[in-house]
Structure 1
């Protein structure tokens, strides 16, 4: 009998140097996409997938991230006094129940694999999800929910997968496909950030995972990989001949909010998707394009 996935790890220890100077004083995960911080999108996706326990792997300087999920009695009282009940209800989605959230420090930046490994004692012997908040995925059904439903059929280890242009394979973990299975593929190998000529496919791993606890043991055994870091990809690949590894082609659009261009693209897409913003925002974009054309 497959166990339900109720725990998720959120690796948020990175310094966010690509967004300096903004990230000098605030964690990148608190940066707002329209009117919600990146981490809220990740939390909402996890909740929709049935996650009950949230484990954050953090580092020094991330206290604002912890405060975000705490209650704010003075602010709530002020909103209540002014009868701003809609805002009050919105705030509730940012609060986490006592005991539902845990924070683990990654004291050395040794890679994604190491960040996940830091949470091993809280995972114990259960399957678990990993969500990278930098990858924001818009879709009718949340990506992790899609994966949890597929995992109920396959078990093993599952990674979110997306086709990318061949020349960009060097920026991702790439799957070596063993068998096509509709939305899924079974995997015969995984390569982290391969050279273009060495990429076994153009099917890239995106920041959503459902993993067996054995992967945590593997992380403690694998050697440092690409970039001199402990790669999560290598630890997952070690399970190909064991519990098995599957790639899941999710339905939705992924935005790389770890890059400035990706963050801007997500801002436009999510802004246009909002009923309360669409008309004014769309008009502005049309006017901006018209001005640029006129200037050429």
Structure 2
């Protein structure tokens, strides 16, 4: 395998605040149980009139109140800086979007969220994807579009030995570094590559991966290459005989059209995969590389 440059993930050490948490704290006085990492853990802290004290830090509630109901505010423990987890870059607007006081957030780009949030939370959505791909102990996994890294983390939790996760957008990596649910990307065995999967895929040897999880952005003229035959052929090349590709498509009538989803299946077959089966619950294709 050619040399691949690993991105050094730098998780932010902070306390996280959302509108539901702030509402809880305003209603409370004295010792209260609350979460300051978006629901990952809960702890007892003391709340006073308009402020709280946590680990010796005095934090005023007005200063950490989000400007919009679905935004997330961080209080940096290393610098004391307070800001919302949003970013504007090259005409695009990125936001870490809360989905509940104890639920994993999603990332929103120009008003479009990157996970399913209706009827399922983003963390569970990613768990379904890793399970559908049948990731198991000892696997080598390629996660083609990292996002907040939930799929890579679930692959790790299912026992995958080597995981490569690829993200083209540095702004998304910045958001992930500011999301406590993404901090599992620091686990040994997970390698982050900042780049375009269309280019990165060429660095891997034939028959290298046991599983590939392909969860690209919604189909458009800008993202069309992520749904193309050339990339599918590369997936087939780097997948081991007997290996599995899971390709997320979304619901045909909500995130594209039946013809787009049908075309994905046809191109996967042209690339050599067989059988290619659409799974309704997982909203995507399972494609196998034959052992013969």
* TM-score strictly above 0.5: no
| Higher fraction of strand | 2
Q: Higher relative contact order by CA 8 Å / sep ≥ 6: 1 or 2?
A: 1
| Higher fraction of helix | 1
TM-score, length-scaled by structure 2? 0.30
